[in-house]
Structure 1
Amino acid sequence: MVPSRREFLKHTGLAGAAVALGQAGEVQAGPPVGEATTPLVVPPRRHPIGVSTYSFWQFRGERLGIPACVDKAAAMGFDGVEILHVQMQDESNAALQAIKRQAHSLGLALVGLSTHQGFVSPDAELRRTNVQKTLYQIDLAYRLGIPTMRINTGRWGTVKSFDDLMTRKGVEPSLEGHSEDEAFGWVIGAIEKLLPRAEECGVVLGLENHWGLGRTAEGVLRIVEAIKSPWLAMTLDTGNFLERSYEQMGQMAASKVPIALVQAKTYFGGGRWYSLDLDYAKIAAILQEEGYRGWISLEFEGSEDAETGVPKSLALLRKHFS
């Protein structure tokens, strides 16, 4: 019987070391065959923790450039950086390679590219335009050496203001004359067109629970489980489930489709649109139970100054994910 992902990780997390090192670092011969040994229990590897550049900007005021965010992430003690695409000020190849070099010199990984697109439209030409835009974004991730890219379904656009959408808890009526079933077909068809490029570039697409058809775990799973591609995974945002939060996180974590990245929201100083009292001990347990071993990326969305709110958030995440 082939072990499940959960069983495999549970067992391998306690694998013993095969050799012991001497005081001078030399490999020592093992004990004679048949002699009792005490296995070395290796503690589970901690989750690496990154920070989204969004945490330092939040769409407020002038865009803070990516190089400045990378410097801040290193100074605050993060392991990596997730880049918010709309925050980039220069997408020339020279600028991309400079960001890659800067991150490497500071000991940081570039762990994700967070992008926007919209496939929820009856307009086939608009969907095609968004596919082309997303193919370009995959190329950006490839040139930056980033292994996973957040994508969205997009939304109907029947609620024009994002503030109003948040007041409505993300619920939005469909366009007159069209149904959600129809829209799921549009989204699935568009994402399928992205996968050959994602495979060619080695970039795993992570469909996020991010409003639109991805407002619920059921919506995200309906799409990714229909497509069944190793190049389509999920990005789990802990702050985007406004009801049944832990239940829906568990649904995503339990799917056979893997989670590529976890975006962890915090709200020190009060949230910009809302605050959720997220229990990160519980969230960490949900992810551990289902075998998630990957990156945690902070998305600080509080009103407190990022210079203090972001370090507080890092301490919180280290406490529960280390």
Structure 2
Amino acid sequence: MSISRRTFAKGALATAAALPARSLIAAETAAPPADRRGNPIAVSTYSFWRFKDDSKLSMERCIDEAARMGFDAVELLHIQMESEERGYLQRLKQRALINGVSLCGLSTHQGFVSPDKQVRQKNIDHTIHTIELAYQLGIPTMRVNTGRWGTSGDFDELMANRGVEPRLAGYSDDDAFGWVTDSFEKCLPAAERCGVTLGLENHWGLGISPEGVLRIVDAVDSPWLQVTTDTGNFLEDPYDRLEQMAPKTVFVQAKTYCGGGLWYSLDLDYPRIAEIFRRNHYRGYVSLEFEGEEDWQTAIPKSLALLRSAFAGS
């Protein structure tokens, strides 16, 4: 005798309802907790370039190489893009699809630490424009910065001074925090409309400390402005500082320095770092930013193996 689908469904529901509560609880607890899943490992296109002369790979090749090496996803560096034309953006999406990797993040360069309202507005407009590019690319999060005072001669001088630079004469940090907070608030409607979560990075300037990053994120108080944590941008006592950042982190950039760093090297304990983020229930992407002198063709696979091992879950 055949049984109709409707009759079968009713019987199944009745059977489930009759199960003792503790049987259902046992079934739930038998499944492994979500925290045991390892983090997906991405690579920033910056890793293939590192601002080295005559070594700027195309985005297409970066995506191909990332897939060949075994990464789960690719983070794009905005200034490395060869075009912003719609067709180019859609070809990048298709390239990622064919290679079986996600486009997981976009890193832009902007800054709001300026007493000049027109300068801040120019950077607000640029940030909104880049949010819209992320939306077109299907990218869910974008790295943003506070900006810095600009009193260093160049980046080499800033690094020689361990990321610290003097304020502009006549202005205070409180002034700068106000400019940055106000500017991000003007960007948030676009972020929400496009579904792109902004991640404020510990990236020099007011973001040189976790206190500086969190002061801005807490003041803005929006789910659309959270934290991008860079493991290599705390030059002293990184682990306690990473612990402070972890609860609001939506994206991790993980530095490695094979062959010696371009500006400095840090001996980072990635199993310890991974445990910090596991303890704070971080399940998102960990994106490699290789910043060493070794050839990327050997250094990036070694870095992937390091991060896979550390962030494999438990």
1:140 aligns with 2:133: yes
Alignment of 1:217-228 (within 5 A): 217-228=210-221
How far apart in 2 are the matches of 1:132 and 1:81?
A: 25
Match of 2:264 in 1: 274
Deviations, residues 25-76 of structure 1 (Å, cap 9, x unaligned):
xxxx98x946977863426211000000000000012321111100010000
Which structure: greater helix fraction? 2
Alignment gaps of 5+ in structure 1: 1-28
Q: Which of the numbers 31, 45, 51 marks the counterpart of 2:37?
A: 45
Deviations, residues 89-117 of structure 1 (Å, cap 9, x unaligned):
11100000000011011110000000000
Match of 1:61 in 2: 53
Match of 2:238 in 1: 245
Query: How far has the Cα of 1:156 moved from its partner?
Result: 0.5
Deviations, residues 151-194 of structure 1 (Å, cap 9, x unaligned):
00111010021111111110011000011110000000100000
How far apart in 1 are the matches of 2:263 and 2:143?
A: 21
Match of 1:183 in 2: 176
Query: How far has the Cα of 1:135 moved from its partner?
Result: 0.7
Match of 2:309 in 1: 319
Alignment gaps of 5+ in structure 2: 1-14
Match of 2:151 in 1: 158
Query: How far has the Cα of 1:118 moved from its partner?
Result: 1.3
Q: Which of the numbers 78, 83, 97 marks the counterpart of 1:85?
A: 78
1:310 aligns with 2:300: yes
Equivalent pairs, count: 291
Query: How far has the Cα of 1:137 moved from its partner?
Result: 0.4
TM-score by length of 2: 0.90
How far apart in 1 are the matches of 2:31 and 2:117?
A: 56
Match of 1:170 in 2: 163
How far apart in 1 are the matches of 2:149 and 2:77?
A: 23
Q: Which of the numbers 250, 260, 264 marks the counterpart of 1:260?
A: 250
Q: Which amino acid aligns with 1:69?
A: C
Counterpart of 1:137 in 2: which secondary structure? helix
Q: Which amino acid aligns with 1:192?
A: E
How far apart in 2 are the matches of 1:130 and 1:33?
A: 60
How far apart in 1 are the matches of 2:122 and 2:83?
A: 22
Q: CA RMSD in A?
A: 1.6
- List 4+ stretches of structure 1 deviating above 4 A: 32-39
Counterpart of 1:264 in 2: which secondary structure? strand
Q: Which of the numbers 277, 281, 288 marks the counterpart of 1:287?
A: 277
Q: Which amino acid aligns with 2:43?
A: V
Counterpart of 1:149 in 2: which secondary structure? strand
Computing the radius of gyration from Cα coordinates, the structure with the larger value is: 2
How far apart in 2 are the matches of 1:243 and 1:143?
A: 38
1:117 aligns with 2:107: no
Q: Structure 1 residues 62-71 or 37-46, which shifts more?
A: 37-46
How far apart in 2 are the matches of 1:196 and 1:205?
A: 11
TM-score by length of 1: 0.87
Match of 1:104 in 2: 97
How far apart in 1 are the matches of 2:38 and 2:232?
A: 22
